[in-house]
């Protein structure tokens, strides 16, 4: 309830309005009740990002369910990358929260370290997928897993372009599909 209230504040009013008082009001609780759970704005924001990561993971797993027990690595990467883009309400909220979190991390050492760890963990998961795809012969063995991981994650840079109406969501997905087709057909 609190995380969703926080998301609504960021989505409707921006990160500059993200105060404990505003979030408490949006959640329909008193500031004192909110402070019972969070000692600071930073703690509240960190919780919201953990919640966002969990929700993204749930959406990825739900998206992969249609591919059966052993989805092709290309499908796993496609669903994962698509869920990192603001293509629907929950992903849009996550994208905006992520942007707010990164801005906070630039000025707060504790948030910086937590954000760095979270991003490093996410990157590691993508690299494991790439390494497995190479080992299983789905991607050419001459490809460098670290470089391919970085190129895949660079595709999530479409988020601000979509948010600011520079490109259409379907164009971002077309670029992702084109890159995945090149990556998986190069073996």
Residue 149 lies in a domain: yes
DSSP letter (8 states) at residue 154: H
Residue 111 lies in a domain: yes
pLDDT tens for each residue of 35-61: 999 998 888 888 888 888 888 999 999
Which tokens go with 22? 């505003």
Q: How many domains does the chain have?
A: 1
Residue 60 lies in a domain: yes
Residue 3 lies in a domain: no
Looking at residue 46, which CATH number applies to its domain? 1.10.357.10
Q: Are 9 and 26 within 8 A, CB to CB?
A: yes
Terminal CA-CA length for the chain: 47
Domain of 132, in residue numbers: 41-184
pLDDT tens for each residue of 113-140: 989 998 999 999 999 999 999 999 999 9
CA distances from 3 to 70, 79, 89 (A): 32, 24, 14
Residue 119 lies in a domain: yes
Which tokens go with 130? 């790439």
Which tokens go with 173? 């997905």
Residue 14 lies in a domain: no
The pTM of this model reads 0.86
Residue 19 lies in a domain: no
Q: Is 34 helix (H, G, I), strand (E, B) or coil?
A: helix
């Amino acid at each position: 309830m609190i995380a969703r209230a926080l998301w609504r504040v960021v989505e409707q009013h921006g990160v500059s309005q993200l105060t404990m008082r505003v979030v408490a009001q949006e959640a329909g609780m008193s500031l004192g009740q909110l402070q019972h759970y969070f000692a600071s704005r930073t703690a509240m924001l960190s919780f919201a990002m953990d919640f966002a990561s969990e929700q993204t993971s749930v959406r990825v797993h739900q998206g992969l369910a249609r591919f059966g027990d052993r989805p092709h690595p290309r499908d796993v990467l496609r669903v994962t990358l698509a869920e990192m883009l603001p293509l629907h309400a929950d992903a849009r909220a996550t994208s905006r929260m992520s942007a707010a979190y990164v801005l906070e991390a630039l000025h707060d050492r504790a948030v910086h370290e937590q954000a760095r760890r979270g991003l490093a963990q996410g990157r590691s998961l993508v690299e494991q997928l790439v390494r497995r795809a190479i080992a299983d012969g789905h991607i050419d063995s001459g490809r460098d897993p670290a470089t391919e991981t970085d190129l895949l994650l660079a595709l999530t840079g479409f988020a601000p372009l979509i948010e600011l109406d520079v490109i259409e969501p379907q164009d971002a997905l077309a670029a992702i599909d084109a890159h995945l087709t090149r990556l998986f057909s190069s073996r």
